């Protein structure tokens, strides 16, 4: 049994070394590329092969080296899509660590330890449920997130260590109803009930405007939520909250923990 285990460990080590050598060669190839066409070809090839880190680096280089290209917004979108794919994958990046599960651990306990979410740990390790076992090694994201809402652009920017992870189109308040300033997310709810004029409107009701998720601020009655009217996204139309498409707020809900800082600017 010991021999089999040693062989298994040796094979894993060899595989990791091969991946490292391959990745190093790919990155050197990327660094040498200096033409737009060459970088585009590399980016597309990396993406087709699911070399997510290399593809992201290629699109970032395109954005940085050719900022006046008519394709720059398309490259930026690709870069942000790859950020999310990497975040939700088992691929270890500079913003994540490998953690060995200890006896007595739970996803919630690990999430609190690293100031992340149990949902993100589960998603990024392809776990079917919240059952975990001591001794297993998992990926844990260990950098803080922050959110910037720009009312003039109706945009919500998710950041980590001041790096843009993804930009979302949102709706903000009519008649400048969305407050500006620095806030924190203090609660998170799935399928929230909406309270209107003292009446509780359940999540399944078509009259419930909150959509599928709620991320509440430390200012009463304000937060980020989904919508029952996706056509309203991108407009100054809310009563003061930040409104997102349901699929986007569900994605954000997985990523950001309670305590995440939110800055709202004019």
Whether residue 119 sits in one domain with residue 43:
no
Whether residue 103 sits in one domain with residue 82:
no
CATH number at residue 222: 2.40.440.10
Whether residue 81 sits in one domain with residue 15:
yes
State which of 123, 141, 159 marks the end of a domain. 141
Whether residue 207 sits in one domain with residue 106:
no
Whether residue 196 sits in one domain with residue 153:
yes
Q: What domain range includes position 42?
A: 2-87
Whether residue 105 sits in one domain with residue 28:
no
Give 224-261 pLDDT, tens digit per residue.
Answer: 999 999 999 999 999 999 999 999 999 999 999 999 99
CATH number at residue 76: 1.20.58
Average pLDDT over the chain reads: 91
Please check the confidence at residue 4 and state whether its pLDDT lies above 60.
no
CATH number at residue 124: 3.10.350.10
Please check the confidence at residue 42 and state whether its pLDDT lies above 70.
yes
What does the pLDDT read at residue 22?
47
Give 52-86 pLDDT, tens digit per residue.
Answer: 999 999 999 999 999 999 999 999 999 999 999 99
Please check the confidence at residue 5 and state whether its pLDDT lies above 50.
yes
What does the pLDDT read at residue 153?
97
Whether residue 72 sits in one domain with residue 115:
no
Among 166, 188, 225, 243, the active-site one is 225
Active site residue 19: no
Active site residue 241: yes
Whether residue 137 sits in one domain with residue 58:
no
Whether residue 159 sits in one domain with residue 242:
yes
Among 241, 242, 256, 264, the active-site one is 241
Whether residue 160 sits in one domain with residue 135:
no
Whether residue 153 sits in one domain with residue 82:
no
Please check the confidence at residue 16 and state whether its pLDDT lies above 50.
no
Q: What is the 3-state secondary structure (H, E, C) of the chain?
A: CHHHHHHHHHHHHHHHHHHHHHHHHHHHHHHHCCCHHHHHHHHHHHHHCCCHHHHHHHHHHHHHHCCCCCCHHHHHHHHHHHHHHHHCCCCCCCCEEEEECCCCCCHHHHHHHHCCCHHHHHHHCCCCCCCCCCCCEEEEECCCEEEEEECCCCEEEEEECCEEEEEEECEEEHHHCCCCEEEEEEEEEECCCEEECCEEECCCCCCCCCCCEEEEECCCCCEEECCCCHHHCCCEEECCCEECCHHHHHHHHHHCCCCCEEEEEC
What does the pLDDT read at residue 179?
97
Q: What's the whole-model pTM score?
A: 0.87
Least confident among 10-24, 53-67, 121-135, 154-168:
10-24
Number of structural domains (the chain) is 3
């Amino acid at each position: 049994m010991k021999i089999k285990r040693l062989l298994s460990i040796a094979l894993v080590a060899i595989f990791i070394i091969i991946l490292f050598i391959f990745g190093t060669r790919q990155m050197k190839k990327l660094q040498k590329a200096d033409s737009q066409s060459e970088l585009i070809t590399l980016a597309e090839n990396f993406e087709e092969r699911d070399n997510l880190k290399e593809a992201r680096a290629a699109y970032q280089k395109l954005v940085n080296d050719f900022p006046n290209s008519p394709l720059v917004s398309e490259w930026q979108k690709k870069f942000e899509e790859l950020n999310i794919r990497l975040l939700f994958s088992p691929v270890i990046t500079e913003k994540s660590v490998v953690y060995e599960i200890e006896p007595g651990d739970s996803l919630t306990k690990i999430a609190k330890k690293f100031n992340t979410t149990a949902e993100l740990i589960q998603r990024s390790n392809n776990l079917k449920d919240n059952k975990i076992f001591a001794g297993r090694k998992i990926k844990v994201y260990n950098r803080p997130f922050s959110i910037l809402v720009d009312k003039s652009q109706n945009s919500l920017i998710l950041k980590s260590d001041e790096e843009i992870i993804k930009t979302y189109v949102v709706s903000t308040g009519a008649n400048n109803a969305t407050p500006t300033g620095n806030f924190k997310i203090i609660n998170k709810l799935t399928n929230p009930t909406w309270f209107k004029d003292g009446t509780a409107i359940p999540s399944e009701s078509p009259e419930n405007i909150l959509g599928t998720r709620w991320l509440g601020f430390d200012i009463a009655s304000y937060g980020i939520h989904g919508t029952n009217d996706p056509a309203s996204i991108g407009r100054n139309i809310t009563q003061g909250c930040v409104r997102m498409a349901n699929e986007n707020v569900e994605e954000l809900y997985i990523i950001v923990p309670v305590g995440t800082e939110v800055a709202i600017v004019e």
